[in-house]
Each structure stands twice: as structure tokens, then as C-alpha cells.
Amino acid sequence: MKITAQEEYGLRCLLQLAQADPESGLPVKEIASREGLSPAYVEKLLRLMGKAGLIHSIRGVHGGYRLTRKPTEISLGDVVRALSSLPSTEEICDRHTGNLEHCVHMSDCSIRSAWTTLTEAVGRFMEQVFIADLIGPERTVAKRLHARIETPFQV
């Protein structure tokens, strides 16, 4: 259970766009150099987010990428879904069938309860956090997230 490379780098690229002038857009090269990534890789990440409708591009000399929506209207969940996927219980059950066609625990699976509980909580978090919330100094952002989502997983 980890944050994947695509999720991490894709989010960073999107955040660059969110912080750039919304009128002019940002060229791939510029994003790549700001993040220390190869332009080819940044293209690929932007492509994924473009397919998901989060960004669009303008070709030609003064081209570049821009957000299609405001940073207040793009959730962390939107971004992660574009780049890989949020964990979903169905996916786990469908993919992890071992050597058989169906999972042996199909009808009654206690592990499913655990993943569902976890998965739903992670999903809720990701839908409540917006790109706009992630702009600013680290401390400020941390406070903002904690204020928004009080006592996550309270005991």
C-alpha cells in the first residue's frame, strides 16, 4: 500500500500548473525543469491527466498546458484516479483470484470488510482535499488539512 511514482510526480506537475498564470499556460520543458524530471516523462503524465479532462493544451510557439477547471474544483481524488486508481474493493476481489477463475472467498470474505473500511476512508479523504488546498507553505497546508479533516480515524 503505497503512493506510486505516477501519482506523486503527476500531482507535482498539476500543482505547477495550478500555481502558474492561468492565462498563459506552462510548457512541458518548463514543468520538467522545475520538477527535475525528463520532458518525455512529464509529457506522459500530462497525457494521462489530459485524458481525464483535468488539463488541456495549446500547441505552437506560445503553447503549453493549463488546468481546465479551477484549483478549487479539482480534488486529490480526481488526480489520483487519472494517474492510477484509488483502491477499490471490487478491484482487489477481481484481480486477486490466485490460480482460480473466482476468488475462493467470493461469497463471504472477512478481509473484504477490512479493505472496504480502509478504502472508503482513503476515498473520503481524497475527495475532500482540493488542489487549491495544497498551495502554500508546508506548515500552512498541514494546518489546513488537519482543520478540514478533524481527528481522522478517531479512536
Partner DNA sequence: CTAATACTTGACTAAAAAGTCATGTTTTCG
Partner DNA sequence: CGAAAACATGACTTTTTAGTCAAGTATTAG
Q: With CA atoms as reference, report the closest residue to 93 among 104, 103, 107.
A: 103
Q: Is residue 50 involved in binding DNA (CB under 7 A)?
A: yes
Distance CA 30, CA 42 (A): 10
Q: Is residue 80 involved in binding a copy of itself (CB under 8 A)?
A: yes
33 or 140: CB nearest DNA = 33
**Least distance between a copy of itself and beta carbon 33 (Å):** 10
Q: Is residue 6 involved in binding DNA (CB under 7 A)?
A: yes
Helix (H, G, I), strand (E, B) or coil at 128: helix
* The entry of a copy of itself, DNA, none that residue 72 binds, CB within 5 to 8 Å by partner kind: none
Q: Is residue 87 involved in binding DNA (CB under 7 A)?
A: no
Distance CA 76, CA 7 (A): 10
Size of residue set near DNA by CB under 7 A: 29
